[in-house]
């Protein structure tokens, strides 16, 4: 088969005609979905940015940055739980309507990894910087370090060290990573994701959240998706990319999220106690969510209102 023929065959099932005919958001107002309850203030901030004529990319950056600054949050930003060596390390990524992307991983002592990710996207020819290199780049590009010591977090880590029992918990305190997918009133899409990752992870571990296609994927021709939960499971299945590709092939957003969850469970028979949740937003404004376990909620902004919604789920935790 010639390359041209191969590409054409690849393009055909995309239902390009159907996708092109989809209109933008139902009421021409922004639609924003973000993971967990901490998505509520994040969505509000994103709306403010859009109302002030900021771009949807600015909106998803500023939105999740609110959660990064919240030092009471134990899974995003500098208030996050540390790795097993006592270091809080941060991962984030951002992607625009056209697929441009920036990401940072294994970053320490910066308040806003999402802003570093955006700057990497805007100011370098690269997508992702990690660790010491990312730190040096950020310092050279106007970011400053912030050291935070939270006695409660340190105490909990020291307590954990006594057993060093590494057990991912479902829905830890019902607030985890924040992933956000958004569409402005003109149908432009963007997404962002930021986290301190799994608590007490091995030093150097990077999850799905900063990985384009895993924790986040945006394709302005189709839609956007983001993930929360055990990152290893999401990386192994290219979770957010899978959701967007299913929507490209005509699967409804919620169904696409459910199929991504089912794929994870199918690939990991006997898996117990690992939460994964997906959010999906299609370019016509249709949206959906789905999680392995009950308890995944998300902030939904639509037609000028923001509210908390419960994702449908596969099973209950006992």
Closest to 120 (Cα-Cα) out of 64, 184, 136: 136
Catalytic residue among 24, 29, 35, 177: 177
When the beta carbons of 24 and 89 are compared against ligand SD4, the nearer one is 89
When the beta carbons of 79 and 197 are compared against ligand SD4, the nearer one is 197
* Among the listed residues 25, 80, 82, 197, the single contact to ligand SD4 using CB under 6 A: 197
CA torsion sign, 114 to 44 to 30 to 311?
positive
Distance (Å, rounded) from C-alpha 218 to C-alpha 193?
A: 12
Strand order in the sheet with 216-219: 216-219, 223-229, 276-282, 287-293, 313-315
Instruction: Decide: 64 and 90 in contact? Cβ < 8 Å.
Output: no
Whether 124 sits among the annotated catalytic residues: the reply is no
Segment interacting with ligand SD4 (CB under 6 A) among 22-30, 119-127, 204-212, 238-246: 204-212
Q: List the interface residues with ligand SD4, window 145-184 (CB under 6 A).
A: 176-177
- For the chain, give percent helix, strand, coil, nearest 5: 35, 25, 40
CB of 34 to ligand SD4, least distance (A): 12
208 lies in the site for ligand SD4, by CB under 6 A = yes
CB of 115 to ligand SD4, least distance (A): 19
214 lies in the site for ligand SD4, by CB under 6 A = no
Distance (Å, rounded) from C-alpha 280 to C-alpha 52?
A: 25
191 lies in the site for ligand SD4, by CB under 6 A = no
When the beta carbons of 104 and 198 are compared against ligand SD4, the nearer one is 198
State the residues that interact with ligand SD4 by CB under 6 A. 176-177, 195, 197-198, 207-209, 228-231
């Amino acid at each position: 088969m010639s390359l041209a023929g191969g590409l054409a065959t690849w393009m055909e099932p995309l239902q390009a005609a159907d996708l092109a005919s989809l209109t933008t958001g139902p009421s021409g107002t922004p639609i924003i979905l973000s993971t967990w309850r901490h998505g509520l203030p994040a969505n509000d901030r994103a709306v403010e940015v859009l109302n002030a004529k900021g771009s949807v990319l600015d909106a998803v950056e500023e939105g999740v940055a609110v959660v990064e600054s919240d030092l009471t949050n134990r899974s995003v930003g500098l208030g996050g739980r540390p790795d097993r060596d006592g270091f809080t390390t941060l991962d984030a990524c951002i992607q625009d309507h056209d697929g441009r992307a920036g990401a940072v991983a294994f970053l320490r002592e910066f308040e806003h990894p999402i802003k570093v990710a955006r700057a990497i996207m805007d100011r370098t020819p690269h997508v992702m910087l990690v660790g010491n290199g990312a730190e040096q780049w950020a310092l050279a590009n106007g970011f400053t370090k912030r050291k935070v010591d939270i006695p409660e977090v340190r105490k909990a880590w020291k307590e954990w060290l006594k057993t060093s029992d590494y057990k991912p918990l479902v829905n830890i305190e019902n607030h985890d990573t924040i992933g956000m997918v958004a569409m402005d009133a003109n149908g432009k899409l963007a997404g962002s994701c930021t986290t301190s990752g799994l608590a007490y992870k091995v030093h150097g571990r990077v999850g799905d959240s900063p990985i384009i296609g895993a924790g986040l994927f945006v394709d302005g021709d189709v839609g956007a998706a983001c993930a929360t939960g055990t990152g290893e499971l999401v990386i192994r299945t290219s979770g957010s990319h899978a959701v967007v590709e299913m929507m490209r092939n005509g699967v409804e957003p919620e169904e696409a999220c459910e199929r991504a969850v089912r794929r994870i469970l199918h690939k990991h028979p006997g898996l117990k106690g690992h939460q994964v949740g997906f959010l999906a937003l299609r370019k016509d404004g249709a949206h959906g969510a789905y999680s392995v376990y009950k308890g995944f909620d998300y902030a939904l902004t639509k037609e000028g209102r923001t509210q908390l919604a419960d994702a449908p789920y596969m099973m209950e935790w006992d």
